[in-house]
Amino acid sequence: MHGCHCIGTLFIAIVTCQYEVLYGVHLSSLIFDTSMVASVTATARLKKDYAKLLKEPVPFVRAAPLQENILEWHYIIYGAPNTPYEGGVYHGKLVFPNDFPFKPPSIYMITPSGRFQVNTRLCLSISDFHPDTWNPAWTVSTIITGLLSFMNDTAPTLGSITSSDAEKRILARRSKTFNLKDRVFCDLFPDVVEDIKKDLSETSTAEEATLREEEERLRSAAEPSSGLSSLMSNLIVIAGVVSFSHFHAECTVSQMPQNVKLVVIYPEADMFSPLIQKTCAWFY
C-alpha cells in the first residue's frame, strides 16, 4: 500500500513538471496566488479592448499598450476642430490595476495642454479616484472617449488647470515638438512621428517668429499679477468642484495645501486666507 502511494506521488510530480515545462506556468502559483488569476483576467480583457480599438477606431484618439507591460497604455488625443486645442497632439497614459476591469485605471496627461497638469493623476468619474462609480463594462474606448469629452469641457477637477484660449492655442502648436522628445511616444506611434516631422518641416520661419511673439506677449501680460491670478484660478477650481456633485469632496480637500502655500509665496494673496480656510472647512 505504501508503495502504491509513492508511485502515485511520483506520477503527480511528473505530470506537474511536464505541465510547467509545456506552459511555463507553476501550478502552485495558480492554486495559491489569486493575484495571478486577476492578472490573467486583466490581460485577456485588455487584449480584447485593443482588438476592438483597432477594428473600430475612436475619432480624434489613438491608444496602444506597452509591449512589455499590457497594464500600461499610452494614448494620443488630437485637438478637436473649432476648439483652442485644434492642431494639438496630446500624449498621455493609462495605468490599469491587476484586477481590471473590476477596478478603474489611473489617468495621466503628459503633454502640456493648458487643461490638465502634466504627469498628475486626474480625478474623473472614469478614473481610480472614483472606484464607486466605475462600471466594469467600460472599455478602453469608453475611457479615452470620456477623457476627450472632459478635455473639451471647462468643468474643474483635481488635476485640471485654468488657462486662456490663447495659451491653449500656443501649447497646441508646441505639442508636436514636445512629443518628439518622448521616447515612449516615438516607439509606440512611429507613423504619427513621421507625420509630425513632415508638418514641422513645412512650418515657415515667419510662422515660428509669430508664435514666439505671441508667447512673449502672453508672458509680459501675465507678469504683473501672476501671484494673485494664480491664486484666483485655484479658488475658481475649488468653487467649481463644490458645484459638481460627481466629484468627491476629499479630492478637493487634498488640493487645499497647494493653495495655502500660495499665501507664503505671494504675500499679497493673504487677503484670501479666510476664504481658503472656509472653503476647506466645508468638507470637514
Please report, for the domain that includes residue 142, its CATH number: 3.10.110.10
Does 123 participate in catalysis according to the annotation?
yes
**pLDDT (0 to 100) of residue 261:** 37
Asked if residue 275 and residue 188 are part of one domain, the reply reads no
Return phi, psi of residue 232, to 5°: -60, -40
CA dihedral 261, 267, 273, 275 (to 10 degrees): -100
Q: Which domain holds residue 233?
A: 226-281
pTM (two decimals): 0.67
| Grid cell of 158 as nine digits | 483635481
**pLDDT (0 to 100) of residue 80:** 94
**pLDDT (0 to 100) of residue 228:** 53
**pLDDT (0 to 100) of residue 28:** 42
**pLDDT (0 to 100) of residue 27:** 39
Of 161, 181, 198, the residue at which a domain comes to its end is: 198
Exposed / middle / buried, residue 54 (Cβ in 10 Å: 0-12, 13-18, 19+): exposed
**Residue 42: Cβ within 10 Å count:** 20
**pLDDT (0 to 100) of residue 224:** 55
Asked if residue 189 and residue 150 are part of one domain, the reply reads yes
**Residue 279: Cβ within 10 Å count:** 19
Return phi, psi of residue 84, to 5°: -65, -15
Residues 6+ apart with CB under 8 A from 157: 122, 123, 124, 150, 237, 241, 244, 247, 251
Q: Report pLDDT digits (tens) over 199-229.
A: 998 876 767 777 777 777 777 776 655 455 5
Of 123, 186, 251, 280, which one is the catalytic site residue?
Answer: 123
Q: Are 108 and 123 in contact (CB under 8 A)?
A: no
**Mean pLDDT of successive 10-residue stretches along the chain, which has 284 residues:** 48 45 43 50 96 96 96 97 96 97 97 97 94 95 96 93 94 96 98 95 74 73 56 49 45 46 38 36 32
| Grid cell of 51 as nine digits | 482588438
Domain count, the chain: 2
